[in-house]
Amino acid sequence: MAEFYAEGLLNRLLGLDGTWDAVAEKARELYTFRIVPNINPDGSSRGYLRTNAAGQNLNREWCPSPAPATNDNIDDDDDENATYEAPTLERSPEVYHLLRRMDRIGCDAFLDVHGDEELPFNFLAGSQGMSVWGKRLESLHGAFLASYERANGDVQGKVSYEPEEAGKGMLNVCSNQIAERFDCFSGTLEMPFKECWADTTAATATGRMGGVVDVKVGWGPERARQLGASVLDALCYVAPHLRDEGEFWKDLPEDDAYVHPSTKY
């Protein structure tokens, strides 16, 4: 689903369908996009959900982390202080090269697009557990999601993973590491594997219109493409505030306020 999402985003951003789009044109003016349609092609080819050809979960390879004493990849004889080094060229070259490229060019906004096996929603998991999380990133998270919901009824903000405790988040997770490393808006966007409980009264970027609220409907390639296309609306909306050092949240409408999410629905 992440590749279909990337396809929809690229089709709209580049006007590959031959139509002119004011939002896409604005997005191209505001941003320099760096898009990786699939960071784990080996895993996709082999039918793996998370791991690459070396057997590594690429969403736990974004920085060194404590290693269990039984791990073969420890670099310290003291079990209590053993470290799992990541990313490495041997185990996670995909992350190794991408992260070093990002270090060279910087990052102002970041989305890691995934699929979730349990929750029947599209949702954004934020970087609440990172030390950089504060009113600025909280407000960007809220405004981005609110704008995304307005653009696409398949997006909602109330249901997501339970936020990590402040300052105690997992730094080896991709979107967390990027938020901490670049002090930027960053999140993991999750799509459902089977059905999506959605508000189909809202229009999407492709003009789809429905008439029923909170219905269980199947999730598939076309809606994933629409979700990717409509993210441009949300990105354009928050662009002026990504590096705003002022208290911009005081001027945002009430509908843009951050909503503390929960897994309960």
Catalytic hit among 90, 190, 195, 245 = 190
Residue 77: both structure tokens together: 């004889």
Q: Among 263, 238, 223, 237, which Cα is nearest to 123's?
A: 263
Q: What is the rounded CA–CA span in Å between residue 132 and residue 97?
A: 24
- SS3 percent helix, strand, coil of the chain, rounded to 5, is 40, 15, 45
Provide the strand spans (E) within the chain.
65-66, 83-84, 109-116, 123-125, 185-192, 195-199, 213-218
Query: Which pairs from 99-107 meet CB under 8 Å and 24+ separation?
Result: 99/62, 99/177, 101/34, 102/34, 102/178, 102/181, 102/182, 103/181, 105/34, 106/182, 107/178, 107/181, 107/182, 107/184, 107/186
Residue with tokens 């909306």: 237
Q: Is 190 a catalytic residue?
A: yes
The set of catalytic residues is 190
